[in-house]
Amino acid sequence: MSRIGKVPIEIPSGVQTRLEDGTLLVKGPKGELSLKVAEGMEVRLEDGQVIVHRPSDTQKHRALHGLTRSLVANMVEGVTNGFERKLQIVGVGYRAEKKGEGLTLHLGFSHTIDYPAPEGIDLETPTQTEIVVRGADKQLVGQVAAEIRGFRPPEPYKGKGVRYADEQVRRKAGKTAGA
């Protein structure tokens, strides 16, 4: 039995779950998410809990068991508390500012980068060198943070660029004068 898959997921108060045609819908204070349950996996709603069962012990079903349970747990956590990723901008003149629902990034290029926020994502800039990505969908929050970081990833010599707040950038030594 999957150690992750067999753990039931508690549904907090204020969160509604329902199952329709193989799709699990979770609605809470931070939004609404849906998941198409993998073929063969059985999801049951029993007295304030979501329980995931697998039909057999094949390798495919064992893998899907833990995955399905984790995805459902992330949905419940997302609509209850939400997820966030913090980014830092390092470099002289590098900055970000909120424009409407999106961001305008100045990252040392000859042009600015306008990044529109996808639906369900909230972008904030507490300072000019910090970006906070918030949302209910864990995958989408991570994807948006990765796309913003991808405009100018940190380089190894001076460390300039966009990085995650908890990221350690490995620095390289530069050229040395030869005689």
Q: Please tell me the distance from the alpha carbon of residue 79 to that of residue 156, in angstroms, as a whole number.
A: 38
Helix (H, G, I), strand (E, B) or coil at 48: coil
**Rounded Cα distance, 104 and 4, in Å:** 41
| Per-residue pLDDT tens over the stretch 121-167 | 999 999 999 999 999 999 999 999 999 999 999 999 999 999 999 99
Least confident of 35-39, 71-75, 108-112, 174-178: 174-178
Strands (E), the chain: 9-10, 16-20, 23-28, 31-36, 42-46, 49-53, 83-90, 95-99, 102-106, 113-115, 121-124, 130-135, 161-164
Instruction: Tell me the pLDDT of the chain averaged across its residues.
Output: 92
15 found inside a domain: yes
- pLDDT tens column, 36-87: 999 889 999 988 899 999 999 889 998 899 999 999 999 999 999 999 999 9
**One domain, residues 90 and 140:** yes
Report yes or no on 171 lying in a domain: no
Looking at 34, 57, 80, which one is the last position of a domain?
A: 80
Q: Tokens 């997921």, residue?
A: 9
Q: Rounded to whole angstroms, how far apart are CA atoms 173 and 179?
A: 18
The answer on 154 and 96 residing in a single domain is yes
Greatest Cα pair distance, the chain, in angstroms, is: 77
The C-alpha atoms of residue 136 and residue 95 are separated, in whole angstroms, by 26
- Is pLDDT above 80 for 177? no
Q: What is the CATH number of the domain that holds 29?
A: 3.90.930.12
Order of all β-strands in the sheet with 113-115: 95-99, 102-106, 113-115
